[in-house]
Structure 1
Amino acid sequence: MQSPPGGHPPDLRTPVGESTVELPDVAPRLRDLRRRRGLTLEAAAQRAGLSPAHLSRLETGRRQPSLPMLLSLARIYGTTIGELLGELSPERDPIIRSGSREPSVADGWTYHQVGTPGRAMQPLRLVVPYGAQGELVRVHPGEEWLYVLDGRLRLTLGEALHELGPGDSAHYESLTPHRIAAATREGAEMLFVHTLLQSPDLYPHV
């Protein structure tokens, strides 16, 4: 979830509808992380493929970030979604018990953290309702793997369109433009793993 803006073309990672779910702690954390990285609002927005105005709305809480935006900003700031949400686990317990973490919701997607924050590989269990973020196109370094648990999923990789059902999986380079959406009105549930790649300057999107 796209080409860097050159005069700010349409932002493919920006969902059409506003999220109604509150993530109150994310906004100030996004601002603090940007400042700690020594990035201006304009520089960070350019690296994320957003307009400065849109990033400003995310940092002030006037707009809620979607999951693709959180993934992108986490990579740029050299952190993880868990840390963006304040889910720090200094002891790095390798066991995550069922029900030990509350799920988070952003722009229609429900995602459960099923891994330990701060690691290069980030696993999630995602619930994707029909129509949510269906037009978001993502391009970023790394790899992604997904496994459909329930429902049917539509995965676009470059120009190829694939429909996956329960038991189907996909493993692909995430520099390939890709889009994930539920294929049926019942939605879909999947396991999702992506790598958090950090370049030496912490700006892998450039």
Structure 2
Amino acid sequence: MDNPAAIGGHDPETEALPDVAPQLRELRRGRGLTLEAAAARAGLSPAHLSRLETGRRQPSLPMLLGLARVYGTTVSELLGEEPPERDPVIRAARAEPVEADGWIYRQAGSSSGRAMQPLRVTVPYGAQGDLVRVHPGEEWIHVLRGRLRLGLGDAVHVLEPGDSAHFDSMTPHRLAAAGQDGAELLFVHTLLTSPTNELCLPGGAHRR
């Protein structure tokens, strides 16, 4: 897999995230979870979660999604960018891009008190292509631009602009741009707010 530093123009191993790191620590403590318990539920090692909480490692979008499920919150809250509660309109000017491990995403709906979270995601070529995702819930994706390679279990599908996919996210899945120009998609996932829900990533899923 390509080094995210080459894709995003920075080194995620050393770049601190002053907004995300304190939020991760505060939410974990607020839920009464030890570092070990929260890490186990998110499919991370305690050392890895500790580095995320101290800003010594940048979390990927799948990690943020998993931690949001564990803490019963949303990626927006983790980033300290929660919009006004139940605001039905998301203005383009307010949907500022956020980069996580090579992917760039923008909020596409208000998730406060909702059962799902919509995002607009830009997937550069080579970013996160070998990361296998497995977690409770459902996902829906719709390709806006470029070509997207979707691996579902043993099957591989190449989605063209206008194509969509809707699947049970307990099925192991991978997402990657199928062309050098990358891909852009609408991405909707269900929010499972129980702190007992886990993001289960097979060993090696976070390798670079």
TM-score > 0.5 by shorter chain: yes
Once the two structures are superposed, the pairs formed by residues 163-182 of structure 1 within 5 Å of their partners are 163-182=158-177
Aligned to 1:9: none
Structure 2 unmatched runs, 5+ = 5-10, 200-208
Q: Distance in 2 between matches of 1:164 and 1:86?
A: 33
Contact 1:66 1:106 in 2 (8 A): yes
Contact 1:83 1:117 in 2 (8 A): no
1:139 to 126, 134, 140: 134
Once the two structures are superposed, the pairs formed by residues 8-157 of structure 1 within 5 Å of their partners are 17=4, 19=12, 23-118=17-112, 119-157=114-152
Tell me the TM-score normalised to structure 1 length: 0.87
The alignment of Structure 1 onto Structure 2 pairs a total of residues equal to 190
Contact 1:27 1:61 in 2 (8 A): yes
Tell me the TM-score normalised to structure 2 length: 0.86
Which deviations, in whole Å up to 9, do the C-alpha atoms of 1:66-109 show, x marking residues without a partner? 00000000000000001111122344221111222211001110
Deviation at 1:16? 6.2
Could you tell which deviates more after superposition, 162-171 or 91-100? Answer: 91-100
Q: Distance in 1 between matches of 2:164 and 2:125?
A: 19
Structure 1 unmatched runs, 5+ = 1-14
Contact 1:27 1:58 in 2 (8 A): yes
Query: Percent same amino acid at aligned positions?
Result: 71
Distance 1:177 1:109, change over 3 A: same
Q: Which amino acid aligns with 2:86?
A: R
Contact 1:19 1:108 in 2 (8 A): no
Q: Distance in 2 between matches of 1:137 and 1:180?
A: 8
Could you tell which deviates more after superposition, 57-66 or 88-97? Answer: 88-97
Deviation at 1:22? 5.5
Q: Distance in 2 between matches of 1:109 and 1:91?
A: 26
